[in-house]
Amino acid sequence: MNVYFGQKLAHAKSRRQDPFCFERLVPSASWIVKAWEASEDQICAAGGLDALVFIRLIVFSIRIFSIAATICISLVLPLNYYGHDMEHKVIPSESLEVFSIANVQKGSKRLWAPCLALYVISCCTCALLYHEYKSITKLRLLHITEALSNPSHFTVLVRGIPSSQTESYSETVAKFFSTYYASSYLSHKMVYQSGTVQKLMSDAGKMYKMLKTCTREQQCGPNLMRCGLCGGTTSSFKMLAIESQNDKGRSDSDAADLRRKECGAAFVFFRTRYAALVAAQSLQSQNPMKWVTERAPDPKDVYWTNLGLPYRILWIRRIAIFVVSILFVAFFLVPVTLTQSLVNLDKLQNTFPFLKGILKRKFMSQLATGYLPSVILMLFLYMAPPLMLFFSTMEGAVSRSGRKLSACIKLLYFMIWNVFFANILTGTIIKNLVGEVARRLQDPKNIPNELATAIPTTATFFMTYILTSGWASLSFEILQPLALICNLFYRYALRNKDESTYGTWTFPYHTEIPRVILFGVMGFTCSIMAPLILPFLLVYFFLAYLVYRNQILNVYVTKYQTGGLYWPTVHNATIFSLVLTQIIASGVFGIKKSTVASSFTFPLIILTLLFNEYCRQRFLPVFKRNAAKVLIEMDWQDEQSGIMEETHQKLQSAYCQLTLTTLHQDATLHEHPGETVASGLQDLENLDSGKTQTSGLWAGHSSPEIKELHAM
C-alpha cells in the first residue's frame, strides 16, 4: 500500500480509516484512467516542476516520433522496401533489413525521400523544442514568483569564511555582513561539523542512553530492533532535550565546544530577495577563495554533510571526480567483459555443486550460457546509478537536487556511450576485423561513414532493446519490486508496523531521464535509416506516459526539486541526437553516392547548431540566474501585503541542520517530541546571533544521524 501510494499517504494519513475494504482487493485499471485524466496543474502540484518537465519530455517524444513515424512509414519505408529490384516474399517472412535504407541501391534517385524526411523531422524538432523551452521558461518564472514564502530567496550560502585566531566563524560572518551589507543583512546561521568518527561516538553514546530511556519509560515494545532502528529517532530526542535542560551548568564549556565545531560555511539571511540575489552574485573579496557566496538551496534540499567541506579543496575534488567519471564511462565495458569471460558455467558448477544437477539438462544449460553474460551486464548496469550519485556527492554538491541533476548528466553520458555507441561499435567489430576498424576509426572523416554503415544493421538490436529493456523497465517501475521487498522486509522481518517511517522515495530523475533520452537518441538516429523502429518506440512512450504520470501522482513523494533545471539538459541531448542523425544521414547519402542529398544535409547541421545557440542565448540564462526585475517585484508585493516581517521570522527556523520539518510531519508519534527539540534549537539560534547562552548541544550533534534515518 505505502509502496504504491506513497504520495497520497504522505499527504492524507488521516483519511485511511478502513484498512480492509473489498474494493482494494479487486484488480482494476482505474489508475490508467486517473493517470490519463490528470491535468498539468495536478502533475505540477504533485511532483513539482521537475515532474512536469519529465512528462513534457515524454509528450515531446510522442509528438516528434508521431510526426517522424507518419512521414517515414508513408514515404521512406515503401521506397526502402522497393529499393532493390528483387522479388518480395510475403511481408511477415521478410528480413528486417529489407525495410531499412540498406536496401536502397547505390546512386538511387529515390534518396530525396529520406532527405526530405530529415528536413521535416529537423524543422519539427526545432519548432517543438523552441515551443517547449519557451513554455518551460515561463513555468520556471511562475514557479519562482508563486513561491512567495520560499526562504531560499532570502538566503545566501557563504563558504570559505576566513578563520581568525580571536573570533569565531559566527562573529566573523556577523562582522563582515553587518559592515558591507548593513542595510540588508538580517542574521545568519552557522553550519556545524559532522565528522564520521564523531558521529560513531555520539551514536554509541546515544544508543546507550536510548536503551536506558526505553527501560525507564517502559514505552519500548518487546523487540529491541524497532526501538533501536525506528522509534529511536524520537525517543532519543526527547531524552536529549530533557538532559540538556537538566544540566544548564555545562553551557559554558558546551558553547566553546560548539564553536570548535563550526565550519567555514553559513547561511546568511537578508531583508529582501533582491539583496540576497545581489550578495549571491557578487565577488565578495579580493581573494576569490574567501567569502564565496551562492544562492542557497531550499531548506529541505540542503545536503548538509557537504556543507562542512572546506571550500579550498573543493576544486581538487571536482577535478578528481571529473577524471574518475570519464574513466568510468569510457572503460565501463572492460571489467564487464572480463567478468563475463571469467564467470563461466564450469567454474560456477565447481563453486556451487548443487547447480550440477540442474545444469545437466540441456535446456537449462543453454539458458544459463545465453543469459549469464547479459545478467552480468545488467548487474553492472544497476551499479551505475548509485555510483554516479556517489560521484556527485563526492563532488561537493550543496543540494540534493543538484546532486541528482549532476548524476543525471553523468548517467546520460554513460548510457549514450555504453549502450548506444558501444553496441554500434561492437556490431561493426564483429563484422570486420578488429584491427581494420581501429585503423579506419582513427580518421575522423570516416566516423560518419562507419556510423552510417553500422546504424541500419544495429537497428534490429535497438528494436529488441526497446522491446525488452524499455518495456521491462516500465513494468519494473510500475511494480516497484525493490520497494516492495524492502517494505515487506521492514514489515515482517523487522516487525515495524509504523508506516510513516517508510514510503518517502523521491522520483529517480537521474535514472529515468537518461533512459527516456536514450530511447530518443535511438529513435532519431534510426528514424530515417530503419523506420520500422518507430511504432515500437511510440508504444513505449505511450506506456511511459501513463506509467510515469501514475507514479508521479501516486507513488513518489516530492521533497525537493530543481525547478525545471533538467530541461536544458534534455534540450541539449535532443539537439545532440538530431545533429548525430544529420551527420549519419549525410554519411549514408555519401555511401549511396548521392552527393546532392549529402550536401543538402550540411546546411541543416549548421542551422540546427545555430538554433541551439539561439536557445542558449535566449532561454538558458533564466535557468542559471534569477532575474532582478522578478525578485524586486516580489519584494514590492510582500511589502504591500505586509507579510515581509512574518517571512523574516520564519527564516531562522527554516534552515536547520536538525530536520525539524520531518519531525513535524511525524509529530503524531510519541507526544509531540518536536516541541522539546525546538526549544533546544532556539538556544542554538541564540548562540548564532552572537549571544552566549547555550544548551541542547546533543541535539546539535545528533542531527545528521536522525536525518539519515529519516531519509532511509
Instruction: State how far the alpha carbon of 670 is from the alpha carbons of 12, 503, 696, in Å.
Output: 19, 20, 20
Q: Identify any residues that bridge with 189 across adjacent strands, giving them in sequence order.
A: 267
Instruction: Decide whether 274 or 465 has the Cβ nearer to a copy of itself.
Output: 274
Residues 254/232, Cβ–Cβ less than 8 Å: no
Residue 445 Cβ vs a copy of itself, minimum distance, rounded to whole Å: 10
Does 628 bind a copy of itself (CB under 8 A)? Our answer is: yes
Does 284 bind a copy of itself (CB under 8 A)? Our answer is: yes
Instruction: Decide whether 318 or 356 has the Cβ nearer to a copy of itself.
Output: 318
Residues 295/267, Cβ–Cβ less than 8 Å: no
Rounded to whole angstroms, the Cα distance separating 190 from 170 reads 6
Residues 178/171, Cβ–Cβ less than 8 Å: no
The interface with a copy of itself within residues 301-360 (CB under 8 A) comprises: 315-316, 319
Instruction: Decide whether 613 or 708 has the Cβ nearer to a copy of itself.
Output: 613
Stretch that binds a copy of itself, among 346-354, 375-383, 619-627, 646-654 (CB under 8 A): 619-627
Q: Identify any residues that bridge with 266 across adjacent strands, giving them in sequence order.
A: 158, 190
Instruction: Lay out the site mask for a copy of itself across 369-408 (x = CB under 8 A, - = otherwise).
Output: ----------------------------------------
Q: Of 627, 643, 711, 712, which lies in the binding site for a copy of itself, with binding defined by CB under 8 A?
A: 627
The interface with a copy of itself within residues 86-125 (CB under 8 A) comprises: none
HSE-CB for 343 with a 13 A CA cutoff = 16
Q: Of 277, 579, 580, 588, which lies in the binding site for a copy of itself, with binding defined by CB under 8 A?
A: 277
List all residues 6 or more positions away from 530 whose beta carbon is below 8 Å from its beta carbon: 96, 99, 100, 101, 455, 456, 459, 460
Q: Of 11, 24, 88, 625, which lies in the binding site for a copy of itself, with binding defined by CB under 8 A?
A: 625
Q: Of 85, 629, 640, 642, which lies in the binding site for a copy of itself, with binding defined by CB under 8 A?
A: 629
Instruction: Decide whether 74 or 145 has the Cβ nearer to a copy of itself.
Output: 145
Closest CA to 459 of 534, 533, 539, 537: 533
Stretch that binds a copy of itself, among 58-66, 185-193, 277-285, 553-561 (CB under 8 A): 277-285
Phi, psi (5° rounding) for residue 302? -65, 135
Rounded to whole angstroms, the Cα distance separating 634 from 620 reads 22
Which residue in this structure is represented by grid cell 528486417? Answer: 96
Residue type, 366: Q
Q: Of 166, 196, 218, 617, which lies in the binding site for a copy of itself, with binding defined by CB under 8 A?
A: 617
Residues 617/571, Cβ–Cβ less than 8 Å: no
Instruction: Decide whether 147 or 620 has the Cβ nearer to a copy of itself.
Output: 620
- Give the DSSP H/E element, type plus range, for residue 191: strand 185-192
Rounded to whole angstroms, the Cα distance separating 123 from 131 reads 12
Does 288 bind a copy of itself (CB under 8 A)? Our answer is: yes
Q: Of 124, 211, 278, 669, which lies in the binding site for a copy of itself, with binding defined by CB under 8 A?
A: 278
Instruction: Lay out the site mask for a copy of itself across 177-216 (x = CB under 8 A, - = otherwise).
Output: ---x------------------------------------
Cell numbers at 691, concatenated? 549571544
Residue 629 Cβ vs a copy of itself, minimum distance, rounded to whole Å: 5
Q: Of 343, 632, 669, 709, which lies in the binding site for a copy of itself, with binding defined by CB under 8 A?
A: 632
Residue 412 Cβ vs a copy of itself, minimum distance, rounded to whole Å: 25
If DSSP codes are grouped into helix, strand and coil, which group holds residue 157? strand
Rounded to whole angstroms, the Cα distance separating 125 from 111 reads 21
Instruction: Decide whether 486 or 609 has the Cβ nearer to a copy of itself.
Output: 609
Does 135 bind a copy of itself (CB under 8 A)? Our answer is: no
Residue 276 Cβ vs a copy of itself, minimum distance, rounded to whole Å: 12
Q: Of 62, 75, 141, 368, which lies in the binding site for a copy of itself, with binding defined by CB under 8 A?
A: 141
Does 497 bind a copy of itself (CB under 8 A)? Our answer is: no
If DSSP codes are grouped into helix, strand and coil, which group holds residue 186? strand
What count of other Cβ atoms lies within 10 Å of the Cβ of residue 424?
A: 21
Instruction: Decide whether 122 or 293 has the Cβ nearer to a copy of itself.
Output: 293
Instruction: Decide whether 242 or 313 has the Cβ nearer to a copy of itself.
Output: 313
User: What DSSP line would sit under 400-441, residue for residue?
Assistant: HHHHHHHHHHHHHHHHIIIIIIHHHHHHHHHHS-HHHHHHHH
List all residues 6 or more positions away from 207 whose beta carbon is below 8 Å from its beta carbon: 228
Does 164 bind a copy of itself (CB under 8 A)? Our answer is: no
Stretch that binds a copy of itself, among 236-244, 417-425, 490-498, 613-621 (CB under 8 A): 613-621
Q: Of 32, 86, 127, 289, which lies in the binding site for a copy of itself, with binding defined by CB under 8 A?
A: 289
Q: Is 401 exposed, middle or buried (0-12, 13-18, 19+ CB in 10 A)?
A: buried
Residues 176/604, Cβ–Cβ less than 8 Å: no
The dihedral sign for the CA sequence 535, 541, 544, 550: negative
Instruction: Decide whether 256 or 628 has the Cβ nearer to a copy of itself.
Output: 628
Instruction: Decide whether 224 or 319 has the Cβ nearer to a copy of itself.
Output: 319
Rounded to whole angstroms, the Cα distance separating 500 from 223 reads 19
Does 614 bind a copy of itself (CB under 8 A)? Our answer is: yes
Rounded to whole angstroms, the Cα distance separating 122 from 322 reads 33
Phi, psi (5° rounding) for residue 293? -110, 150
Instruction: Decide whether 597 or 615 has the Cβ nearer to a copy of itself.
Output: 615
Residue 430 Cβ vs a copy of itself, minimum distance, rounded to whole Å: 23
Instruction: Decide whether 28 or 617 has the Cβ nearer to a copy of itself.
Output: 617
Rounded to whole angstroms, the Cα distance separating 616 from 604 reads 18
Does 676 bind a copy of itself (CB under 8 A)? Our answer is: no
Rounded to whole angstroms, the Cα distance separating 111 from 361 reads 52
Instruction: Lay out the site mask for a copy of itself across 556-595 (x = CB under 8 A, - = otherwise).
Output: ----------------------------------------
Instruction: Lay out the site mask for a copy of itself across 421-460 (x = CB under 8 A, - = otherwise).
Output: ---------------------xx-----------------
Does 620 bind a copy of itself (CB under 8 A)? Our answer is: yes
Phi, psi (5° rounding) for residue 191? -100, 135
Binding footprint of a copy of itself on the chain (CB under 8 A): 137, 141, 180, 277-278, 281-289, 291, 315-316, 319, 442-443, 610, 613-614, 617-622, 625-630, 632
